[in-house]
């Protein structure tokens, strides 16, 4: 079971430039005071940005990763569903063959009020660069 499935995140709309996701508010994602945990909201926002990035990734030669999340919480969620959206803002290419995708992200409650908003940056890297990463030497060999 994937992390998104574990939390119940679904994606009613997904393209390489716009992704919408939904996260049901349950006790599993509430903090001790009964409000949605900020980490759950951030998870939803990274999930929508990551899916959009993945849809722009040629998995035969590239891998994608979320690398930076800058989100401000505006209001606490309590019940219902969180509705997350990622809209591609821009792409920057590097001389090393990496691509950075910047997503404007926003989570709203059922009433349409903003819960959290910000920017998620994802990176698309050549598959070989990820395989050759020295930090993976002690990790399970998932790429070969």
Each residue's pLDDT tens digit, 10-28: 999 999 999 999 999 999 9
What sign results for the dihedral spanned by CA atoms 26, 31, 34, 37?
negative
% of the chain residues with pLDDT over 70: 90
pTM recorded for the entire structure: 0.89
80-91 per-residue burial string, b: 16 or more CB within 10 A, e: under 16: eebbbbbebeee
The two tokens of residue 59 are 């998995």
Would the pLDDT of 144 be above 50? no
- From CA 62, how far away is CA 124, in angstroms rounded? 6
């Amino acid at each position: 079971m994937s992390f998104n499935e574990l939390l119940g995140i679904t994606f009613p709309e997904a393209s390489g430039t716009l992704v919408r996701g939904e996260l049901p508010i349950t006790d599993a994602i509430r903090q001790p005071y009964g409000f949605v945990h900020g980490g759950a909201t951030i998870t939803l926002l990274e999930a929508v940005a990551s899916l959009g990035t993945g849809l722009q990734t040629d998995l035969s030669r590239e891998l994608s990763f979320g690398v930076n999340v800058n989100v401000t919480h505006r209001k606490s969620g309590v019940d219902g569903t969180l509705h997350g959206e990622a809209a591609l803002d821009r792409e920057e290419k590097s001389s090393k063959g990496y691509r950075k995708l910047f997503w404007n992200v926003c989570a709203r409650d059922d009433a349409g009020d903003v819960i959290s908003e910000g920017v998620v940056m994802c990176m698309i890297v050549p598959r070989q660069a990820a395989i050759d990463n020295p930090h993976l030497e002690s990790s399970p060999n998932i790429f070969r």
